[in-house]
Amino acid sequence: MEISKTITAKSDAAQFCGGIFIEKISQIEPEVLIKNEIELEQFFTPNPNDYFIRKRIWELKTKGDPIKVHEVYEGICNAPSFYDKMDNKYRVCWLLTPMSSFQDMYEESFYFLFKKLKTELLNLPVNEKTAGHLIKALDMFANRAIGPVVQRIEQKSMNVNVDGNQAMREVMTPDQLEQKFNELKSRLVALPAEASKVDEPQ
């Protein structure tokens, strides 16, 4: 489903721009059309003009008014410079890829970098040189996944203390505390003399 949407979005953009875009996209293989911008950038390096042309395409498409191809690059680069680079199918496909929000781009970049890091860590041998780095990585991942262990223990302890103190305040009134003290004192008096010595509170 997502693959179909990706190809459709690029095809729609090509139809909107017309001319050479329609010609070039018809020559691009489906396996290239489904690639996202990061994957496409592995095959060519976008320059600032590429970025502004792509931005122009999607700004014009959002407006929805019919355009001519020259409006895509006008004011950004000259015609020979634009057409010379249209032979690069990866660049064409990149230009026709919908612009992502910066948040989407950050999340996508994080996913690919995390996946790469995970692969490297899994292939890393465990020895005296790598053990420290692996332990730090494990600790970092554990903190992100389940929260810092020490912090969770301290938080749980604090909750228990607060709940316990609150329960004592709710259950033990001054009269009840005095009654409890007297009960304990009576039990002590009943014990053998050597065990019943106790200092009463002042």
Domain-embedded: residue 134: no
Domain, as residue range, for 173: 149-195
The pLDDT assigned to 31 comes to: 93
Instruction: Please report which confidence band the pLDDT of residue 20 belongs to, taking 50, 70 and 90 as the band edges.
Output: very high
CA distances from 151 to 87, 107, 135, 140, 166 (A): 57, 27, 18, 14, 22
Same domain for 14 and 82? yes
The pLDDT assigned to 123 comes to: 82
The pLDDT assigned to 112 comes to: 67
Domain-embedded: residue 30: yes
d(C-alpha 64, C-alpha 117), whole Å: 42
The pLDDT assigned to 188 comes to: 56
Instruction: Please report which confidence band the pLDDT of residue 64 belongs to, taking 50, 70 and 90 as the band edges.
Output: confident
The pLDDT assigned to 111 comes to: 66
pTM of the model: 0.51
d(C-alpha 187, C-alpha 195), whole Å: 11
Instruction: Please report which confidence band the pLDDT of residue 99 belongs to, taking 50, 70 and 90 as the band edges.
Output: confident
Q: What is the dihedral sign for C-alpha 22, 28, 7, 78?
A: negative
Same domain for 7 and 97? yes
d(C-alpha 45, C-alpha 171), whole Å: 72
Domain-embedded: residue 15: yes
Mean pLDDT of 69-78: 94
Inform me whether the pLDDT recorded for 67 exceeds 60. yes
Domain closes at, from 101, 117, 140: 101
How are the residues of the chain apportioned to helix, strand and coil, as percentages rounded to the nearest 5? 75, 0, 25
Domain-embedded: residue 108: no
- Tens digits of residue pLDDT in 143-171: 766 666 555 545 554 554 444 445 444 45
Domain-embedded: residue 142: no
Domain-embedded: residue 113: no
Mean pLDDT of 49-78: 92
* Number of structural domains found in the chain: 2
Vertex 50: Cα angle to 10 and 8 (nearest 5): 5
Inform me whether the pLDDT recorded for 29 exceeds 70. yes
Domain-embedded: residue 181: yes
On average, the pLDDT of the chain sits at 76
Residue with tokens 């996946």: 115
Give Cβ neighbours of residue 37 (< 8 Å, ≥ 6 apart): 94, 97, 100
Inform me whether the pLDDT recorded for 102 exceeds 50. no
Same domain for 32 and 96? yes
